[in-house]
Amino acid sequence: MKTILLLLSLAISFHAQGQMKKGPTDAQIEAMARANARLADIERASGTLFRRENVRPFFEYGETGYLVFSDDDYGGIARDMKKQIAQNLPAGVGLIIYTQSSNKNYHQQLLNTYAAYMPRERIRIAPVPRSGANDFWSRDNTPVPVFSAGARSLVDALYYYNFEPDDFFGRLFNAPVAKHRYFFEGGNMVANALGDCIVVNRRQSYPGGVSDTAAIPDEVFLNKYGCHSLTRLPHLKGIGHSDEVVKFMSDNVIVTDTHQYVQTLQQKGFQVVLLPEPDLDYETYVNSLQVNDVLYVPVFGERGDAAAVEAYRRVNPALKIVTINSRRLATQGQGGIHCITMNYPPGPLAGP
């Protein structure tokens, strides 16, 4: 156990003040992988990995009750992206904006800003306890929603920037929080309503180290996240999260922009729709966001934009498609629309 704590401290200590890249450093990856692997050995020996829980994953094409993102706009780069998301949020969906600031005047200013884009009564400013750094990537650092015994529940993993708002969100959503001590980012799991889950192993991309996800046992995804099956794809490009390269549009339909994944996905029984690849590194049309009947699609001012939108339209003509230029954020390796947001299912919120 002392070894695990040392490695966890090592991984956390690598974060610096101010903004950082979305993905972990090689040193962080190595530390997280060792910590995850050591923890897996301990849990296998004790038998705790095999406790099956009555859990199923939340699926994005289902019903969203709340969309969450941080107050950070990454130096203005994401400001217009978040504005467009708020302006087009479907009726009945609440927007929760979390902040590590305790300044009430700032909270009011933040509320007034977003109230210009959508009804004020649907906006909640959520001051989370201060912890860690880089709270920008909501898909990675907020707790992952699941359904436990049919009720809304959350799963808390360790985040390598040490931003840990999980218990706060548990209280906000009146939801129990199931915790595990593996490093994991929520953007690296996509799921459908049947419990089919997909993650990307980043092991192959780092000759000097291995990925935290590659070291996490399958049982964690089966038991904690409610996956009935788990597909591990190799890391072939990008940061190495599944939401960059695959997306469930229904129980059986997946979109991807990676030819090398098509055969694997088809062998799993999925209908695969191939999206175009954008021109520059880290850009991806797959990193879209579905909120009920609205689909936010990243565009980059490139030749593939129209083809990507048309492909999504063919998959589900009932969706309202909102295009958001994500080039400045994506090309810096900072993710996209999906990375900076998190969907949560409907249900009552705790009082102010």
Handedness of CA 4, 37, 59, 25 (dihedral sign): positive
115 located within any domain: yes
Q: Give residue 30's pLDDT.
A: 81
Cβ contact 167:191 at 8 Å: no
What is the model's pLDDT at position 28? 81
For the chain, residues with pLDDT lower than 70 are: 1-21, 50-53, 203-211
Tell whether 304 is covered by a domain.
Answer: yes
**CA–CA separation, 138 vs 185, rounded Å?**
10
> Closest by alpha carbon to 344, among 139, 198, 76?
139
pTM above 0.95, yes or no: no
10 Å CB burial of residue 237 (0-12, 13-18, 19+) is: middle
The per-residue pLDDT for range 223-247, each reduced to its tens digit, is 999 999 999 999 999 888 999 999 9
How many alpha carbons lie under 13 Å from residue 319 in its C-beta half-sphere?
24
Nearest-angstrom CA–CA distance, 48 and 331: 41
pLDDT value, residue 209: 42
pLDDT at 21: 63
pLDDT of residue 51: 65
157, 226 contact by CB (below 8 A): no
- Least Cα distance to 49 among 178, 230, 224 occurs for 224
Domain assignment present for 251: yes
- Per the CB < 8 A criterion, the answer to whether 171 and 350 are in contact is yes
pLDDT score recorded for residue 352: 76
- Would 18 be classed as within a structural domain? no
Q: What are the tokens at 130?
A: 């201060």
Task: Give the span between the Cα atoms of 188 and 249, in whole angstroms.
Answer: 16
- Quick check: is 126 in a domain? yes
Q: Tell me if 60 sits within 8 A of 5, measured CB to CB.
A: no
Q: How far is residue 111's CA from residue 99's CA, in Å, rounded to a whole number? A: 12
Is 4 part of a structural domain of the chain?
Answer: no
Identify whether 352 is part of a domain. Answer: no
Q: Is residue 27 part of a domain?
A: no
Its domain, for residue 314, covers 55-344
Count of domains observed in the chain: 1
Contact 240/267 with Cβ under 8 angstroms? no
Predicted confidence at residue 52, as pLDDT, reads 59
Handedness of CA 85, 87, 90, 91 (dihedral sign): positive
What is residue 43's predicted lDDT score, i.e. its pLDDT?
A: 85
CATH number of the CATH domain containing 129: 3.75.10.10
Pull the structure tokens for residue 262. Answer: 């098509």
